[in-house]
Structures are given as C-alpha cells and as structure tokens.
C-alpha cells in the first residue's frame, strides 16, 4: 500500500517541528510538505539541524496531501482549517480553535469572534483515550491543549465514577517549552532558569477545556474547578497534581483499581504504584498516572505526567492522525523515554 | 559593646554552612566556633571555598559561646540541645526536635522516642512573624521547617480571620538543596535535572507543623490540611501554592488588604500584586506572598515563596538569634536577592 | 532469520541502562538477559520505569546469548570478558580494560595489574569510523571512552593528513551523566547545578586513548596532546573544542573539504557549516564536527559534539554489535535527536 | 562626610541592574538617579522586584550626580559619555567604547566610526588589578569586557614573567546572562537549556581587548592569541581555561608561586590549589585562578573564574568607582559567594 502523505502548517514552532520529528520516522506516513512564514524558502534541515536528513524546503503554501497537522496560533488556524476542510482534506488542528463546543465560550476566552463556527459541531475533541471511535471517523480533530491532556486523563476515571464531591484543584508544573518558541522575557534563559512561578491566576485559556470535558463525563454534577499553571526550569514535561475532596469513603487501593480498569487497554496511559517523574515520559507519548487518597482528610490526590510536546501536542496529533488514516494507533510513537 | 559569640553545630550540611555564610558578615555577632563530624580537623575554608576568608577550623567539640545554632539531624539534635540548655546557653535548633508541642505526635511522625521531652514546653516555635515576643525571651527556639515557613506565612492571615471553610491544600515546589547535602539517588544530578516529581504522598514530616500552627490560629475550627511537596530542578527556592474553599464571599482586593494589614510591619514579608518568583527571594531572607481569589469557584489561592536555605532555614535562625540577643532583627540579613 | 540474542552485564549504570533502552527497540536483536549486583532479583521495569514494557528481571548471572555488552567498571570488567571470550561469546566491552594496546600503560594509568593481558592483542578499538572492518571480524571490541570518541573523530582527518605542527589541546565540556550513576558529592544536584569546573588536570584516564589513536594515524610524528575535561550543568552531551597550530597554510574551506571527504560515507558523522550544539545530538548516535581555521594565528579549531551516553557509550556499542553480527550498522540507531 | 551621589544610565540591562543592586547596599555611595528607555516612567521596584525597597523611578534623563556608571550598548554609550565628561562628571563606562586604545581597531571590530575618539587617550582600562593608580586619578574608566577580565587576570602573571612561547588559547565557558537581557533565539530558555555550544569562531569582539592588554605586558613579544567563547546552561559565571606552550621549564609549584606573588595584595583575586568552580564566585566580586603545568607536554594551563555580572561587569565597575571617589576599594563588595 502507498504511504499516506501528510503536511504540517507552521512547522517552525515547537509543536510543529515536533510533528516533523515524529513523522520523519513514521513507518506508514510520509511527511510530504511543510509550511512556515518567516522561514519560508529555507531548507528544513538548515533551520532545524536535528532534522539534518530531511530534504524538505519550508514552503509558503502546502503541497498535495491526505492529511494536515495545523500548528498555527488560534484564530489564524481556523481560517486555514476551513479551507482544508472544504477541499475534503483531513485535519488535526493543534490550535485551540475547535476544542470548545460553545462558540460564546470561545469568543469570551480568546477575545475574538470565532472565524469558522460552522465547523464546531463536526470537530471531535482529540483526547484519544476518550474519543477513539469518533476520531477514527472524523475529518476534523481538535488536538487538546497540553495542560488539559494531563489534567483530564488524571481526573476522568474519578469524575466518571462519581467520586468527586465538588471542588477540583489542578496544580500544574510545566517545562518552559510549553510557552512556545516565540521570544518573551518570561522565557529568556536567565529569567526562567533557577525560577519557579505561577501564572494566569485570573484564568488560563486551558481551563474551559478542562471544565467542558470533565463536565461531559458527569453532566448532572456541579464541579468547581480551579486550575493554576506554573513554570518550572526544565525544557519538557508537565506534572499535574490534582486534588478533590471525595464524596464518600474509598481506599487508595480501590481507587487505583478504578484507574487501572479504566485505562487497562490503553497503549499510552500507565497507572503507576509510585509518584511519577516527568523524566520518565520525556521523548515518549506516555501519560503516567498515580492516584491516591489522603486518608486523614478524605482528599483524593491524582498526579499525572506527560511530555508536553509529545502526548501534550505532537504525539497526540500523530496518535489521532493514525486513527483517522486507519493505521495502528501506536505507529511512529514507539520511542521509549530518554532517561536520564 | 563586645560582639556576641556564636557557634554552629554540624556546619557541614547546607543549613549549617548557610548559617556560617550569614554569620561571616554579621555586624554584631562573631562566629567563634563550628563543629562537624566527618570533616573535623579541616579548615572551614578548605571544605567550603566560598568561605575562603574564614580562619575557623571544624572542631569535634564546641568552644565557648553565647548562642548556638544547631544544624543536626532530628533526634541527634535533641541530645546536643539538652546539654547546651543545661549549661545556660541560648539555642536555635534547626532540627525538627522541638517544633511539635505534642510528644506523642513527634514519636509517631519521627518513629523514635523524643530524647528530651522535658524541653518541649519551654521551646518557642521560631516563626518570627508569629512569635516575635516569645522568641525574644526564649532560651530555646525551634526553627521551623522550610515548607512550614512558606505555608504558614501564606495561610496565617486567612486562617486567623476565619476565611477558610474546611479544606486546605498546600502544593509546594522545592529546589533540590532542600533535600540536603547527604548523597541520595534522588538528588543525583542526572536524576533530578530536567525532572519534576511529587514525593511523600503518604504524609511528609512537615505536615504536623503546619497543622499545629494553623490550628493554634483557629482552635475551634476543624481544618483538613493536605500537603504535597514536589522537587523541581533548581538549587534554591520553595514556591507554595495554597488552595482553600472560602467560607464566605470576599474579593481579591479585600483579601489583599487583610494580608497587607497583617504583615504591614514585617521587614521580611512582602505582599505582592503579581505572582511572585522564587528568583526574587534567592539569596535574601524575604518571603513574598500573593493572595487572590478564584471568583468562579469561591477558592482562595495564596502563593508564597522563599529561599529555602535562608528564610526557610539559616536566615530565619539568624533572625531569631538576633531577637534572642536583643539585636536589631534585620542585622546581617540585609542582602538583596541575587537576580537574575 | 532468528533474531540474535544479546545480554548486558551490569545494566544498572547509565551506560548499561542506555544499552537496554536502545536494544529494547532494536529490530534485529533481542535483549534476552541482563545482570546487576545490588538490584539483582528486581524487575528491570521497576528499577527503571522508562522501560516499563520490559519483562526482564535483573539477574546475578547471564543467560544464554550470542553477544554481550559489558558495562562493568574497569578491572572487574576484564574478568567477566575473559570468561565470555573463553566460551566463544562475542563481547563489546564498554570499560577501559581493552582500549590500550600497551599493558604497562594500562597498569600505570589505572593503578592495577591488567587482569587479562592475553586478550589485548585480539581486542579491536571500537571507534567504528576508524576500524569498521576489524570490528566486523572481531570477537572482542573495546568500546572507546566518551571523551576519546569526540576528540579522536574531531582530530583524525587533520592528523592523518599531517596538518598538525605539534601541539594539540582538547578542551572538553561534558554533561554530568558522564560521571556515572554512582553517588558522589561532585554530582550531587545542588553542587553540579549552576556550576562549571575543570577536573583531572593531572591527567585524565581517557588521555592515553587519545594519544594512542591519534599516534597510530601519524606514527612518525611527535604530538603533544593536552586534554582538559570540564563538567557543565546539563545531563547529556560532550562538546570538545580542539586547538592545534597548523604545520602550514590552509583555509577554512580547504579544511572543511578534507573533513567532508574523510567522513563522506559515514552514517553517524556530519560535518557542519556552523558551530554545533550538543542539543542537536541528544538522543541520537550522531557526531557533529565543525572544523575551522583562525587565520590570524594559524590555529586550527575543530569542534565536535556527541551524546555521551549514545555515540559516547551505548550507541557506539550497538553500532559495533551490529557490525559483529553482520547486521546493518544503523539498525536500532535511527532515532533523531530530541530537540529542543 | 556626605555620601557620594551616583547614577546609572540604562539600568534595565543585566549589567545596569546589577550595578543598581550593588549600589543599593553601598555604605558610602547613594544611588541617586537611574535612566532607561523603554521602562522610563516606571518605578525601579516594579520592573525589578528584587529591588523592592528602592524608591527610584526610571527616568529619561539623569539627575545630578558625582559619578555615573554607563551601561549602554557600544556607540550609543560614547555619546553619553562625551556629554558627561564635558560636564566634568566622573564616568565608568561599561560598554566597549573606550577599551581599545587604537581607534582603527575599534572601527574595524565594531563596524562603526568611533563617536568620540578624542577621549580615547584619557580613558583608563579598568582592570583594577593592573591599573589601580591610573584609575584612582581618572575621570573616565573603560570597564573591561567580561571575558577579558577573566582571561587577562589568568594570563597576566605568566605573560609579564615571559613564560609564554608564542601561542595562547583562551577557551571560555560563559553562563547565559552574559548574552544580555535582550531577547534572542539563542538565549530562549528551551534552546539554551541542556545545550553547550561555541560561537563567534570568526573572532569575538573581546579578542582585541585581550590582545591589547597582554601585549602591553610584553611589548616585544609576538603572541598568537586564539579565543573561543562558549555558552553553557547556567545563569551566571565564566570559567576560562587558558593554554600556552611554555618557553622554558617550570614546575607547577614554581608557577603557583609566581601567581601568588603577583596577586598577594589583591582583595578580589585568589590563587587556588585546586580547579576552581564558578559556583564559588557567584554573587561575589572574586576572581579565582588556578595555574598549573602539564609536565608531559610543556603546556601551561591556567583556569580562572568569575561571576560575569560582578567581577565581569558591575562589581568591577563599583570597584573602579570606589577608587575614583577615594573610597576603600572593597566598599559595597564584601558579599560572600552564594553557595550552593
């Protein structure tokens, strides 16, 4: 069988170039064409020496493809996606544009009018573990944000099971690559190194995604979700520590069983016996989850970690792409974490 | 007036050597004698080149002094302290041995019989901002743990004011020096670098300190406190993000006013308008606190940060020592944070 | 064809466990058995969670295999190797025991009597690019040290071509994983982080390897080689900056051509137009080399970089193993560097 | 006596703000006025929270002062300096504009016509240890570059003594703050973290400074100096490893004696018995120097380290300012390095 032909729009950000790295060794898909703006006309291998063996040139416009991974900023992405969908091309959109079902929510959180609201109903939220079947049949998949990926996978089994009383706190610690490749004083080396800080206390744009998806798992329950992201001085990785007062009594062992059952068939989610390390996910598509109970207080504590650029972005996009193309879900994603 | 003479027991750990650094430039106290075990007989300047100008030799036994900073591990510390107290010498104990008022709590959390329970009633908990007067008159001060220092300062104004409903979550992110100078695979460079992880989910020994001190501020209120410490890849600094559902309605502005009033006279606590950075405390005795309210959920969020080796250990010990000696509280602690 | 069966002796150091990671996804070799000392009896996946999918248990004694990668400390390694060689098993030895041809040199640098000098003549120095044919036919390959790998690849073309006057300086900057997984105050996180230092100024044990191999390329020339290793605060990577006064005039362009020709057929060596970054080799078996000339002074400057655990250890071992087994040299080593 | 009044032009770069930090606790100088461009009108304490106690506002134009530290980029600096000198104000210029004696050298290396060549003859090169007397009497001091400070201090005793044959290699490893506070992809966190690289192989602008100053110590000797700077992933610190074939025989012990004698009276230079660590200079004005000899090859190896923002910039500026104002040279510079 011929390999499928894939393209990447805006390959020059960290999510885009990570898609290129993963596709460069994908056994059943060929990366045929990539676009960029400032770097258009340059060889991909010159701008990104780790892809030295690539023969691609960064183009202004995409060539012919079966599927496209779109790694544009929000709003700009929707316009590109609309045009691709109209041509009948399959799309995994890594931006935020098609993640929220509710157009007004989008308009409020992103401060712009949604450029293509007519696509919202057909877009499938691309958290593979929750929407595997829908993704396989979709033309448009909205790849989740990095924080929501870790947070929703951490909380879904407990929320679905109805274990949560009301409050949920998601305290996330992200490596600095999560802030992207655009220059900013906050991600200037001497500022971010040897520093830890919280940000977006007034409400991070990934919060409505988390609310939407956990809400869909328990439509009748009111949940109060607080999400605080932090930057920690490392390049890759997100560790999310999630806290929720339990509705009833449950032991750590019972909780672990619920999680193990929920994820028993998942190739990329592992429930661990000990607190996981971001290092053990770096370079892989894994999500590690450790659920436990603070018996003194009746508080559930669940910790998840992922590589923000892989399971939190490019890897999950490839995972979704595989499903959309009818390929094995793990194709091109077998790499083991690079430890130490 | 003659300068007071101070000694340090077990100078070779990170807390002990940081006491030595601070005392080396203290205007009104002379560091007269230091002890260590494995390094006894060596010049301090040879073992710790940053103190190249010191003429001290690391001794097995302490010389004559007015006050001693004890930086031993728990249990061993109590024995040293007992002997010093009996001789009428003032002591700041940096170990955990005299922090908990309740002997049985100590025995349970530390898994040993308290070696000097008779001193518990006279020991003053050395969180300077809460016990300034008692410290000034004490012979024995129990210097708080690094995590409790940040957590209690973050929560005290809200707890005292009765703002908290019931649950409190303290999610702390610590630099690796907090784990001490003893070798351990968890603090081996290639393991800790580029990694974030949680630990002590079954209950960290600093938790009972936090419970004790917040409880004393609201004796009639049942509080459920969950504390999860994390290691992040930096040398110094603790950032604690504290979450608590509010008992009633309060705005972020009102909350900030409560905190500003509570700490208005404090030389080393600053209430900030924006989320603080550990970098802005590194090398100084400051505690930065940012209180806010998540209006959507009724959750109070308070973030504090400190340099774990200064306000979290040696700096606070010097601050307490100053009070015990009748010196200005800020003497020897004026250093501005080293940014970037 | 059946897959070859490989074993690893002392899998628990960084070199050993990196061999395990690479073999875990090798298409034509099965990792059949691994040994360790302190961790014997534990599942490999429990000690090293990034290898969660492994079913191996760490054994005290090796099972049946076609080839063994030995990752023991020097001296202890030779004894294991001797026993394997006598049984007719192929061996890649990652220790220093069979790198030096001259037994007295070994005894002097390592301060012990060589435990198996009778094997020295048959051992092939495993710098694949220089000894490809000999390696293919060898039963025992002595895998080079991490520093010599980068230094010799950087200097070999110039030395062979006779461009060097007399002096060679190799100034190497290594990530901290190069110091191994054994605990040491120098590799304690808070000591190594935010620090750069030189070490082994009296002569590092990797120096005689460099002298031996560059000497073999120009037996009639006296070269004076100075090698100074440094530790820099990162986990993986070695960058070596090599300086040598030129014997005659040559332009940077001509020099680059000599290097490009020398390495034109090499799958894992790339000559670059700009100074290379260790980051562009991390996670891959690449060696990047940038040769240039300081025209003002007649000084040749050649910079190389590698991932010390891959091309500097486990990757090169697998590269050699592939040749010894008659497999494609690049099998199992196709991973692209993990950037950023 | 009234305190002297000092000003800082362009306080918002790393050198400028470090001057402000040092002056904020200077016992005999008051920081009276600071300027900045983009941040003009803001309170210094708001832009730089570590200076929370400062009451200064960043101005567009300087107020009245006795002495000014100018931290502008080259060329722009000269214009400011000219105007200050004409008003009779003392100036320490941290830019490169008055470091080179030879106007044509400046024009060539900086690619601009020198804006104030008439001041070149009166400017004193501000390497305090070499020009103490001249600095004390100067109106204009050209503060050295960070790399030249470490390199010249490392090589001066040997060059002055005539120990060097001809070639000198300076291999410097700098923390990332040396690249300044302006945004650049090279100093973007995810790019610079976990990376080591060389740069400016075609000739760094600090090279002519090194050539000029070492040349002045041995005017009759031809020296061939090669300088290669590297970026290593830490915030502060420069370690320079200097190599030079020796003209004659000398032991490491004799060499050390020469260095100890040369620097015996220096408050900020220490000759060490073991290879120094940048960590032991961080936060202090120290330069640590370790000279040795590679007896096998007749190569002298001298290693120096400094905090690039203190002895390599702001600290040395304050040291020079002290001399120019007739104050004790060490005033305001007594801080001990912050270890670990």
pLDDT digits (tens, 9 = 90+) for B213-224: 999 999 999 999
Q: Do D272 and B335 touch (CB under 8 A)?
A: no
Secondary-structure percent of chain D, ordered helix, strand, coil, rounded to 5 = 35, 25, 45
The neighbour count for residue C56, using CB atoms within 10 Å, is 18
Tokens of C316: 């090169």
Q: Which residues of B touch D235 (CB under 8 A)?
A: 340
Instruction: Calculate the alpha carbon distances from B271 to B170, B268, C324 in Å.
Output: 18, 10, 66
Domain contains C340? no
Domain contains A331? no
Chains with ≥3 Cβ pairs under 8 A against C? A, B, D
The partner residue sitting opposite D280, judged by closest CB among B50, B236, B283, is: B50
**Nearest residue of chain B to residue A202 (CA atoms):** B294
Chains with ≥3 Cβ pairs under 8 A against A? B, C, D
As a whole-number percent, the residues of chain B with pLDDT over 70 amount to 100
Q: Can you tell me the distance from the alpha carbon of B181 to that of B183, in angstroms, rounded to the nearest whole number?
A: 6
For residue D47, the model assigns a pLDDT of 95
Cite the beta strand spans of chain D per DSSP E: 4-9, 29-35, 58-59, 67-70, 90-93, 124-125, 140-142, 167-174, 197-198, 224-231, 238-245, 269-271, 287-294, 299-306
Distance of CA C47 to the CA centre of its chain: 25
The partner residue sitting opposite A190, judged by closest CB among D190, D191, D235, is: D235
Length of chain C: 340
What CATH number does the domain containing D117 carry? 3.40.50.720
Domain contains A11? yes
> Among candidates C211, C205, C171, which has minimal Cα distance to C302?
C171
Q: Do B187 and C190 touch (CB under 8 A)?
A: yes
- Are the C-beta atoms of D58 and D82 separated by less than 8 Å? no
Tokens of D180: 């300044």
Q: Can you tell me the distance from the alpha carbon of C308 to that of A210, in angstroms, rounded to the nearest whole number?
A: 41
Q: Can you tell me the distance from the alpha carbon of B173 to that of C312, in angstroms, rounded to the nearest whole number?
A: 34
Q: Which residues of B touch A279 (CB under 8 A)?
A: 191, 194-195, 197
- Are the C-beta atoms of A197 and A174 separated by less than 8 Å? no
Number of domains chain B contains: 2
Q: Which residues of A touch D187 (CB under 8 A)?
A: 188-190
CB pairs under 8 A between B and C: 57
Pairing assessment for the beta strands A224-231 and A197-198 based on DSSP bridges: antiparallel
**Nearest residue of chain D to residue C297 (CA atoms):** D224
Q: For chain A, say whether C233 makes contact (Cβ under 8 Å).
A: no
Q: What is the pLDDT of residues B116-169, one digit of tens each?
A: 999 999 999 999 999 999 999 999 999 999 999 999 999 999 999 999 999 999
Domain contains A296? yes
For residue B1, the model assigns a pLDDT of 60
Q: Domain check: are D302 and D316 in the same one?
A: no
Q: Domain check: are C41 and C60 in the same one?
A: yes
The rounded mean pLDDT for chain A is 97
**Nearest residue of chain C to residue A14 (CA atoms):** C340
Q: Do C188 and B181 touch (CB under 8 A)?
A: yes
Q: Domain check: are B157 and B302 in the same one?
A: yes
Domain contains C184? yes
Q: Domain check: are D101 and D139 in the same one?
A: yes
What CATH number does the domain containing B257 carry? 3.30.360.10
State the virtual CA torsion across D261, D267, D273, D274 in degrees, nearest 10. Answer: -140
Q: Domain check: are C111 and C31 in the same one?
A: yes
Q: What is the pLDDT of residues A48-70, one digit of tens each?
A: 999 989 999 999 999 999 999 99
Which helix (H) or strand (E) element contains residue B85? helix B76-86
**Nearest residue of chain A to residue C280 (CA atoms):** A50
**Nearest residue of chain B to residue A233 (CA atoms):** B233
Q: Which residues of D touch B48 (CB under 8 A)?
A: 339
Domain contains A330? no
Distance from CA of D56 to the nearest CA of C (A): 31
Q: What 3-state class would DSSP assign to A9?
A: strand
Q: Can you tell me the distance from the alpha carbon of A36 to that of A45, in angstroms, rounded to the nearest whole number?
A: 13
For residue C38, the model assigns a pLDDT of 86
Q: Domain check: are C157 and C301 in the same one?
A: yes
Q: Can you tell me the distance from the alpha carbon of B317 to that of B94, in angstroms, rounded to the nearest whole number?
A: 7
The partner residue sitting opposite C201, judged by closest CB among D171, D235, D275, is: D275
What range defines the domain where residue D48 resides?
Answer: 4-144+311-324
CB pairs under 8 A between A and D: 58
Q: Domain check: are C152 and C290 in the same one?
A: yes
Q: What 3-state class would DSSP assign to C173?
A: strand
For residue A260, the model assigns a pLDDT of 98
pLDDT tens, per residue, chain C with 340 residues: 689 999 999 999 999 999 999 999 999 999 999 999 889 999 999 999 999 899 999 999 999 999 999 999 999 999 999 999 999 999 999 999 999 999 999 999 999 999 999 999 999 999 999 999 999 999 999 999 999 999 999 999 999 999 999 999 999 999 999 999 999 999 999 999 999 999 999 999 999 999 999 999 999 999 999 999 999 999 999 999 999 999 999 999 999 999 999 999 999 999 999 999 999 999 999 999 999 999 999 999 999 999 999 999 999 999 999 999 999 999 999 999 999 9
Q: Can you tell me the distance from the alpha carbon of A54 to that of D82, in angstroms, rounded to the nearest whole number?
A: 53
Active site residues of A: 146
Secondary-structure percent of chain B, ordered helix, strand, coil, rounded to 5 = 35, 25, 45
Q: Do C191 and D298 touch (CB under 8 A)?
A: no
For residue B2, the model assigns a pLDDT of 84
Q: What 3-state class would DSSP assign to C138?
A: coil
Which residues of chain D are modeled with pLDDT < 50? none
Chains with ≥3 Cβ pairs under 8 A against D? A, B, C
The neighbour count for residue C47, using CB atoms within 10 Å, is 15
Q: Domain check: are C201 and C295 in the same one?
A: yes
Q: What 3-state class would DSSP assign to A174?
A: strand
**Least-confidence region, from B19-23, B36-40, C243-247:** B36-40
Best residue in A198, A304, A309 to probe B by mutation, most B CBs within 10 Å? A198
Q: Domain check: are D47 and D151 in the same one?
A: no
Q: Domain check: are B206 and B64 in the same one?
A: no
Q: Which residues of A touch D193 (CB under 8 A)?
A: 176, 189, 193, 233-235
The partner residue sitting opposite B280, judged by closest CB among D14, D24, D49, is: D49
Q: Domain check: are D124 and D111 in the same one?
A: yes
DSSP one-letter string for C19-59: HHHHHHT-SSEEEEEEE-STTTTSBHHHH-GGGTT---BEE
B303 CB-contact burial (10 Å; exposed 0-12 / middle 13-18 / buried 19+): buried
For residue D38, the model assigns a pLDDT of 86
Q: Do D233 and A193 touch (CB under 8 A)?
A: yes
Full-model pTM: 0.97
For residue A326, the model assigns a pLDDT of 98
Domain contains A83? yes
DSSP one-letter string for A252-292: HHHHHHHHHHHTTT-SSEEE-SS--BGGGTTTS--EEEEEE
Q: Do A189 and D188 touch (CB under 8 A)?
A: yes
Of C19, C146, C242, C287, catalytic: C146
pLDDT tens, per residue, chain A with 340 residues: 689 999 999 999 999 999 999 999 999 999 999 999 889 999 999 999 999 899 999 999 999 999 999 999 999 999 999 999 999 999 999 999 999 999 999 999 999 999 999 999 999 999 999 999 999 999 999 999 999 999 999 999 999 999 999 999 999 999 999 999 999 999 999 999 999 999 999 999 999 999 999 999 999 999 999 999 999 999 999 999 999 999 999 999 999 999 999 999 999 999 999 999 999 999 999 999 999 999 999 999 999 999 999 999 999 999 999 999 999 999 999 999 999 9
Q: Which residues of D touch C198 (CB under 8 A)?
A: 239, 241, 275, 303
The neighbour count for residue D108, using CB atoms within 10 Å, is 11
pLDDT score of B200 more than 80: yes
Q: For chain A, say whether C177 makes contact (Cβ under 8 Å).
A: yes
Tokens of A86: 């109209």
Domain contains D55? yes
Q: For chain C, say whether A115 makes contact (Cβ under 8 Å).
A: no
What's phi and psi for B287, nearest 5 deg? -120, 120
Q: Do C24 and A336 touch (CB under 8 A)?
A: yes
Q: Do A188 and D194 touch (CB under 8 A)?
A: no
Q: Which residues of A touch C339 (CB under 8 A)?
A: 17, 21, 48, 50
Q: What 3-state class would DSSP assign to D276?
A: coil
Q: Do A224 and B275 touch (CB under 8 A)?
A: no
The partner residue sitting opposite A177, judged by closest CB among C49, C277, C340, is: C340
Say whether the ipTM exceeds 0.90: yes
Q: For chain A, say whether B208 makes contact (Cβ under 8 Å).
A: no
**Nearest residue of chain D to residue C339 (CA atoms):** D191
Q: Which residues of C touch A290 (CB under 8 A)?
A: none
Q: What is the pLDDT of residues A124-169, one digit of tens each?
A: 999 999 999 999 999 999 999 999 999 999 999 999 999 999 999 9
Instruction: Residue window 266-305, chain D: list those with CB within 8 Å of chain C.
Output: 275-279, 282, 290, 292, 294, 296-299, 301, 303, 305
Q: Domain check: are A162 and A266 in the same one?
A: yes
């Amino acid at each position: 069988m011929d390999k499928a032909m894939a393209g990447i729009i805006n390959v020059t950000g960290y999510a885009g170039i990570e898609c290129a790295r993963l596709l460069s060794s994908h056994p059943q898909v060929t990366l045929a064409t990539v676009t960029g703006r400032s770097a258009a006309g340059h060889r991909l291998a010159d701008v990104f020496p780790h892809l030295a063996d690539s023969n691609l040139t960064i183009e202004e416009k995409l060539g012919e493809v079966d599927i496209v991974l779109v790694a544009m900023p929000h709003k700009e992405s929707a316009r590109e996606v609309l045009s691709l969908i109209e041509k009948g091309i399959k799309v995994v959109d890594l931006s935020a544009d098609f993640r929220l079902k509710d157009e007004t929510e989008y308009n409020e959180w992103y401060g712009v009018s949604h450029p293509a609201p007519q696509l919202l109903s057909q877009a499938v939220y691309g958290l593979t573990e929750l929407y595997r079947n829908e993704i396989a049949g979709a033309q448009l998949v909205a790849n989740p944000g990095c924080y929501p990926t870790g947070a929703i996978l951490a909380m879904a089994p407990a929320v679905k099971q109805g274990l949560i009383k009301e409050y949920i706190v998601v305290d996330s610690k992200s490596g600095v690559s999560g802030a992207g490749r655009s220059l900013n004083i906050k991600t200037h080396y001497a500022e971010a190194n040897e520093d830890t800080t919280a940000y977006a206390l007034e409400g991070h744009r990934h919060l409505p995604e988390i609310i939407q998806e956990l809400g869909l798992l328990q439509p009748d329950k009111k949940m109060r979700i607080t999400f605080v992201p932090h930057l920690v001085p490392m390049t890759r990785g997100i560790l999310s520590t999630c806290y929720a007062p339990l509705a009833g009594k449950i032991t750590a062992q019972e909780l672990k069983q619920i999680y193990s059952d929920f994820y028993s068939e998942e190739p990329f989610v592992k429930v661990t016996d000990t607190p996981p390390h971001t290092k053990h996910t770096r370079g892989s598509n894994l999500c590690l989850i450790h659920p436990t109970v603070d018996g003194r207080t009746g508080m559930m504590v669940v910790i998840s970690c992922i590589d923000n650029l892989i399971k939190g972005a490019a890897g999950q996009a490839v995972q979704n792409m595989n499903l959309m193309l009818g390929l094995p879900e793990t194709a091109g994603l077998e790499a083991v974490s690079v430890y130490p």
